[in-house]
């Protein structure tokens, strides 16, 4: 459903987030800021964007949520968009991904369509895809060491040289299974087309209220992906012994984990609000993954 009043009644603040090492942005960003300022937007750029252009206001990406932007413009690929979602989703920001020539499964709009997209947003002619996010906590000795959000997935995996790790999976406190595997993925519907898909997991439509639990190269032929409602609490008990394991969020935020640690995943309070104009989910699958072609 088109959403024209959700954010446009808020202060006209735009955050710009950019992918490093894209020379074309040295020309794109000054023109973009000028266009926005002429329409009375307040603009803030992250440090990555400011590397191309001395913007008037620079805010570290991790602090952009405090800027409370009504709109975030993400110039890059899916990795940049994942980072943006973690940074601004708590503030209810609408996120528009501008694809700079990569696969761009989440970044729908090409650079040539940037200004038509902005004009459509001003007219309220857009659709908001509300994408569930994961809130992941690392618990050690009863204390929570860290909590992060993820749009795609959380992954508990072995280090490059360690043997298979041992994980015990619980859903709402009920024991589900014990795994010896290279890793275990908890994916959102958005993340079901990422690492989980490559590990043999199913594709979920973005509006399905569920998570996918997918083992990576399990030592057991009966271990298969499991789909659970997104209202549950998922716990992974790590039994590594002397081996090393690793927790990563969206393949970007990571930390080592130890024997006896507990990784807890629940649905995050705030979803990522991705802007869409025309393509449906299955059209994107067909275009980007060559899936379902006749």
pLDDT band at residue 164, thresholds of 50, 70 and 90?
A: confident
Residue 44: count of CB within 10 angstroms of its CB: 21
pLDDT computed for residue 141 by the predictor: 94
pLDDT computed for residue 177 by the predictor: 94
Per-domain residue ranges of the chain: 13-131+271-289, 134-267
72: nearest Cα among 59, 63, 60, 85: 85
Q: Which CATH architecture has domain 13-131+271-289?
A: 3-Layer(aba) Sandwich (3.40)
Q: Are 213 and 169 in contact (CB under 8 A)?
A: yes
Instruction: Give the distance from CA 196 to its chain's centroid.
Output: 14
pLDDT of 196 > 50? The answer is yes
Please give the residue that has the higher pLDDT: either 82 or 285. Answer: 82
Q: How many CA atoms lie within 13 A of 234 on its CB side?
A: 31
Mean pLDDT (the chain) is 90
Determine the 3-state secondary structure of 201 from DSSP: coil
pLDDT of 4 > 70? The answer is no
pLDDT computed for residue 222 by the predictor: 76
287 CB-contact burial (10 Å; exposed 0-12 / middle 13-18 / buried 19+): middle
pLDDT of 7 > 50? The answer is no
Instruction: Give the distance from CA 169 to its chain's centroid.
Output: 23
Calculate mean pLDDT across residues 261-287.
87
pLDDT computed for residue 277 by the predictor: 83
Helix, strand and coil in the chain, % to nearest 5: 25, 35, 40
CATH class of residue range 134-267? mainly beta
Active-site positions read: 78
pLDDT computed for residue 171 by the predictor: 98
β-strand 165-171 against 234-239: which pairing, if any?
antiparallel
pLDDT computed for residue 105 by the predictor: 77
Instruction: Give the distance from CA 29 to its chain's centroid.
Output: 24
pLDDT band at residue 6, thresholds of 50, 70 and 90?
A: very low
Q: What counts of helices (H) and strands (E) characterise the chain?
A: 7, 19
Determine the 3-state secondary structure of 198 from DSSP: helix
Q: What pTM was estimated for this model as a whole?
A: 0.90
pLDDT of 107 > 50? The answer is yes
pLDDT computed for residue 67 by the predictor: 94
pLDDT tens-digit readout, 215-264: 998 887 778 999 999 999 999 999 988 777 899 999 999 999 999 999 99
CA pair distance 236, 227, nearest whole angstrom: 15
């Amino acid at each position: 459903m088109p959403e024209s009043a959700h954010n446009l009644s808020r202060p006209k603040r735009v955050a710009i987030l950019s992918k490093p090492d894209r020379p074309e942005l040295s020309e794109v960003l000054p023109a973009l800021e000028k266009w926005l300022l002429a329409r009375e937007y307040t603009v803030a750029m992250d440090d990555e964007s400011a590397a191309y252009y001395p913007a008037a206001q620079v805010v570290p990406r991790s602090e952009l949520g405090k800027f409370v932007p009504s709109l975030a413009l993400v110039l890059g690929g899916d990795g940049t968009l994942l980072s943006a979602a973690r940074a601004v989703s708590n503030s209810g920001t609408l996120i528009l991904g501008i694809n700079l020539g990569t696969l761009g499964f989440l970044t729908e709009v090409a650079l040539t369509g940037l200004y038509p997209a902005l004009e459509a947003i001003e007219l309220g002619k857009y659709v908001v895809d509300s994408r569930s996010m994961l809130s992941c906590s690392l618990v050690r000795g009863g204390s929570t060491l860290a909590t992060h959000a993820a749009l795609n997935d959380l992954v508990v995996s072995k280090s490059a040289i360690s043997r298979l790790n041992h994980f015990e999976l619980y859903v709402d406190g009920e024991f589900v299974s014990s795994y010896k595997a290279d890793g275990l993925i908890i994916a959102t519907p958005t993340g079901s087309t990422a690492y989980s898909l490559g590990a043999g997991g199913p594709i979920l439509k973005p509006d399905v209220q569920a998570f996918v639990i997918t083992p990576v190269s399990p030592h057991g032929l009966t271990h298969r992906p499991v789909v659970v409602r997104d209202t549950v609490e998922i716990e992974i008990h790590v039994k590594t012994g002397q081996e090393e394991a690793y927790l990563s969020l969206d393949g970007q935020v990571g930390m080592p984990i130890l024997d006896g640690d507990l990784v807890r995943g629940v649905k995050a309070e705030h979803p990522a609000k991705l802007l869409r104009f025309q393509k449906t989910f299955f059209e994107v699958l067909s275009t980007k993954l060559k899936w379902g072609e006749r």
